[in-house]
Amino acid sequence: MLTIERITKSFDGQVVLDDVSFAVAAGTITVLLGPSGCGKTTLLRIVAGLEQADAGQVLLDGSNLAGVPPFRRGFGFVFQDYALFPHKNVADNVAFGLRMAGWQAARVRARVEAALEWVGLAGFGGRAVHELSGGEQQRVALARSLAPAPRLLLLDEPLGALDRALRERLVGELRPILRQAGQAMGYDAGITAIYVTHDQAEAFALADTITLLNAGRVEQQGTPQSLYHAPRTAFVARFFGMHNLLAAQVISHAPPAVRTAIGALRVASIDQRAGTPVTLLIRPEAAQAGAAGVNVLEVKLLDVSFRGRFQLAAVQAGAERLLLEFDSARRLPAPGETMTIELQPHLLLPLAQDAGA
């Protein structure tokens, strides 16, 4: 449906987006994810037509949107700060875009009622905006954006102003809302959306596809599962909270092995040739207590934190400190004592080094 081709954008000589490309399939949610300042919002504004790219193009169903003003693109936009009209009630806020588009009054009333029902606010039409909670105001903003049947919905950190509990609730409800609204408007798979966030939990819960940005460039794209289970670089691993990253060098492919500061370690597979420097990710669930096979290490237990279904143990392996997960029922030594562990090869991933590493 939507294709972003080699978008580049600079402000005052500072490159904000550098050769960014990705595609959004009809009826899917693509999340633009990354740390603050990586270019997510600028890219969303370019898609909306609120900013012009220095190079590249935005295609909708194969047609270039260059020169098409925002109001003619047929896109909806949901902002973090709601952007509601404080002097209008809920129904008039939702109806605003429909009236601007010249809809007849009876049709406007029917669509406003439907849109409020989609977002769980049936019967709220006569309420004043200032009477609503933050979550309810964001639902009104979402209803207003959905009401005109947008070809694409753009959401820029829409839950950022809400507390954690409310964010988690709305994240769980957003996919069903977009599916129900889209199907009611004739989009079989639901509303197509691009969602901007820096929160990985939101991204995992919402996305069909994630585009992870780093300093204006695409670091990795794919499903939430593929980014989490198969990060390609140390940046991706760190971003998703995996910090057991060791400098390493490829030793061989048969068997696949790397050399690290804590010794030579077997891995499941290696793409890089022998002698290549890599970064080895040791996933926190890689360790098993006891010596049962390859990659057996003697480590010192530094600290243990109970996390419910698992224990998070900080251990010292040579000069390296690792955070490892063990089953919560497993009896571990006391902090300060040593223990033997095995690192499972299929959970050790040689990654490409970050640029400049």
Query: Which pairs from 174-177 meet CB under 8 Å and 24+ separation?
Result: 174/206, 175/29, 175/206, 177/118, 177/119, 177/120, 177/142, 177/146
Place of tokens 């037509």: 49
10-residue averages of pLDDT along the chain (357 residues): 96 95 95 94 96 96 93 90 90 95 95 95 95 92 94 91 83 91 87 94 95 96 96 94 95 95 95 93 93 89 94 96 94 95 96 67
pLDDT tens for each residue of 51-69: 999 999 999 999 999 999 9
Token pair listed for 103: 């809809």
Token pair listed for 331: 């009896």
What pLDDT is stored for residue 190 in this prediction?
85
- Kindly report the number of other CB atoms within 10 A of residue 164's CB atom: 10
The CB-side HSE value for 124 (13 A sphere, CA atoms) comes to 24
What pLDDT is stored for residue 342 in this prediction?
95
What pLDDT is stored for residue 357 in this prediction?
42
Instruction: List Cβ neighbours of 13 (8 Å cut-off, separation of 6 or more).
Output: none
What pLDDT is stored for residue 164 in this prediction?
82
What pLDDT is stored for residue 44 in this prediction?
96
What pLDDT is stored for residue 356 in this prediction?
45
Q: For the chain, which domains are there?
A: 2-233 (3.40.50.300), 235-351 (2.40.50.140)
What pLDDT is stored for residue 83 in this prediction?
84
**Cα–Cα distance for residue pair 255/351, rounded to 1 Å:** 17
In contact, 78 and 155? CB cutoff 8 Å: yes
**Cα–Cα distance for residue pair 315/164, rounded to 1 Å:** 31
pLDDT tens for each residue of 146-157: 999 999 999 999
What pLDDT is stored for residue 355 in this prediction?
58
